[in-house]
Amino acid sequence: MEDIKDFQSIFEVLFETSDSIEHLVRLCDEFGVKGKQIHDANIASITKSNIIQYLFTNNTEDFTRYKEFLNIIDLSCEITQ
């Protein structure tokens, strides 16, 4: 539980809204999203409705179809300064 509280103190947690659901429907139509892909499309739609340009993930392949509006950052890559 402490980890969740730490996470929430650092990051803003975003939820589905009517706007993100509209984006989700459009993304499903545009990209032919089916089955389990709906979960990734839902994340992408939430980023789009909140004008978020970057998504950090371990599953970059799952989001490549959204690269037109979303920059996908692979969490497994080593970050250098």
pLDDT confidence of residue 12? 87
**Which pLDDT tens digit goes with each residue over 10-22?**
888 899 999 999 9
In the predicted structure, residue 65 carries a pLDDT above the cut 90: yes
Question: pTM for this one?
Answer: 0.84
In the predicted structure, residue 80 carries a pLDDT above the cut 70: no
**Which pLDDT tens digit goes with each residue over 44-56?**
999 999 999 999 9
For the residues 19-43, what does the mean pLDDT come to? 97
- Determine the Cα–Cα distance for residues 43 and 76; give it in Å rounded to an integer: 19
pLDDT confidence of residue 79? 61
Closest CA to 49 of 8, 11, 16: 16
Q: Tokens in use for 41?
A: 């499309």
In the predicted structure, residue 7 carries a pLDDT above the cut 60: yes
- Beta bridge pairs of residue 71: 54
